[in-house]
Structure 1
Amino acid sequence: MKAAEVTEKRTPGRPVGQSSGYEQIIVAAIEQFAALGFEGASMRQIAKEAGLSSATILHHFGSKRELFAVVLKHISESLENNPVLSNPGAAGPDTLQAVVEALVNWVRTHDDFARISMREALDTAERVENAKRWPLKAGMETIHKAFETAMDCQPGNLSGRMLALQVLGASFLFYVGEPVHRLQAGVPDAQWKDEFCRNLVDTALRFAKMDMQK
């Protein structure tokens, strides 16, 4: 999702009637964190992009870490509110295909969110150790549970979670680096993204079939 597509809904914890400067900050923060990561983005540049002062950002959030947590919460909520991932339906191949396609399409249509999430996966080991407070936890659980439901995983069976991470990782790598990959492979742009999705669905279905035969 491009930062400009962030909705005007009230973020949890935001006082009713707070100024629209809040949304300006979120939009600018998403763009900066997507492009530069947490360490590379600066509050000064975010303020500049938002057309506000650094003092205004600190008034709303207090620190860059707090602002980043709010951005991650936006990402998590977009996954939690995905109609297919949040309510995949009965287990079976059709459901698994729908879940894979929904996750791939989420990455495909949420470019900034995907970039931030991928950077977070690379840089967040220390924060995930305390996962109860990790802002992406609920969104990731939504993905995992969707795959577990589609594969009818029993307690203790990690196959659904493993497949979810494989699909998510492949999608992140593919779409974030898509222009370079496409040029290297020489595949026409019109076929590239749809073909990737079909191949990933086929791989997931084969994985699930082998898991059921164990």
Structure 2
Amino acid sequence: MSDSSTAADKAEGPSRQDWVVAGLCTLADGGIDAVRVERLAKTLGVSKGPFYWRFADRAELLAAMLDYWRRDFTARLIAHGALLETPRARLEDLLAQALEVRVGPIDVARVEGALRAWAAHDPTAAATVREVDARRIGHLAGELAAMGAGTAQAQQLARGIYLGLLGLFTARRYTPEVADDDAYRLLVMRALDAAQDGERA
């Protein structure tokens, strides 16, 4: 095979992001042990060879999956509403995004749960989950403080909002009849009202 045809094959084959997204979808469906090169290649309709055009090995893919989750499921969501004028508007925008069931082909609730199951027995995944959780809660607390909540109140409200979201994700996976987006939205609105009441106090 010529160098030019090899370059063309690489350009036309699954991209690095295609493999990462396939990895996250597989993680959500079958857990970390299901994330294997052979299975992903079958999902993407290619042989295993194209995988090694994008990654040195499975470990690099797993690291890229964590990076993608950190970036697209946290940093991107925060950046989406960053130009909105008030902290309440930014948090309401974040709420709307957090309640989306899917991001492309990725089931958000399932991947969030699967990442935490992976983190339970993998130190690298655990460190990433702790980092992401801290960033999400820190961002919420900062915006709630900007609305007028005191430091301790902002931290408590942020944790409550976040724990409620994780609970909603769990319900979506295991007891969908309990998963009520409107109930969670009401909870968040009450928390935002409480932060504003702190400003008026």
Aligned length: 181
CA offsets per residue over residues 95-123 of structure 1, 9 Å max, x none? 54444343223xx2334343222211233
* Structure 2 length-normalised TM: 0.65
1:149 counterpart residue number: 142
1:173 and 2:170 are equivalent in the alignment: yes
Match of 1:29 among 3, 23, 26: 23
1:199 and 2:186 are equivalent in the alignment: yes
Distance 2:96 2:171 in 1: 14
Give secondary structure in 2 for the equivalent of 1:30.
Answer: helix
1:80 counterpart residue number: 75
CA RMSD between the two structures: 3.8
- C-alpha contact (below 8 Å) 1:148/1:160 kept by paired residues: yes
5+ residue gaps, structure 1, are 1-16, 186-191
Distance 1:144 1:85 in 2: 16
CA offsets per residue over residues 61-95 of structure 1, 9 Å max, x none? 23323212212322222231224565675445x65
User: 1:109 and 1:99, CA in 2 relative to 1: closer, same or farther beyond 3 A?
Assistant: same
Q: Residues 26-65 of structure 1 correspond to what in structure 2 (within 5 A)?
A: 26-65=20-59
- C-alpha contact (below 8 Å) 1:73/1:136 kept by paired residues: no
Relative contact order higher in (CA < 8 Å, ≥ 6 apart) = 1
Give the superposition deviation at 1:173: 1.4
Q: Residues 98-109 of structure 1 correspond to what in structure 2 (within 5 A)?
A: 98-105=93-100, 108-109=101-102
5+ residue gaps, structure 2, are 1-8
User: 1:171 and 1:202, CA in 2 relative to 1: closer, same or farther beyond 3 A?
Assistant: same
Q: Percent identity?
A: 16
Q: Residues 108-127 of structure 1 correspond to what in structure 2 (within 5 A)?
A: 108-110=101-103, 111-125=106-120, 126-127=123-124
User: 1:27 and 1:122, CA in 2 relative to 1: closer, same or farther beyond 3 A?
Assistant: closer
Distance 1:62 1:44 in 2: 15
CA offsets per residue over residues 140-165 of structure 1, 9 Å max, x none? 45522331122106667732542343
Letter in 2 for 1:165: Y
1:66 and 2:60 are equivalent in the alignment: yes
* Structure 1 length-normalised TM: 0.62
Give secondary structure in 1 for the equivalent of 2:46.
Answer: coil
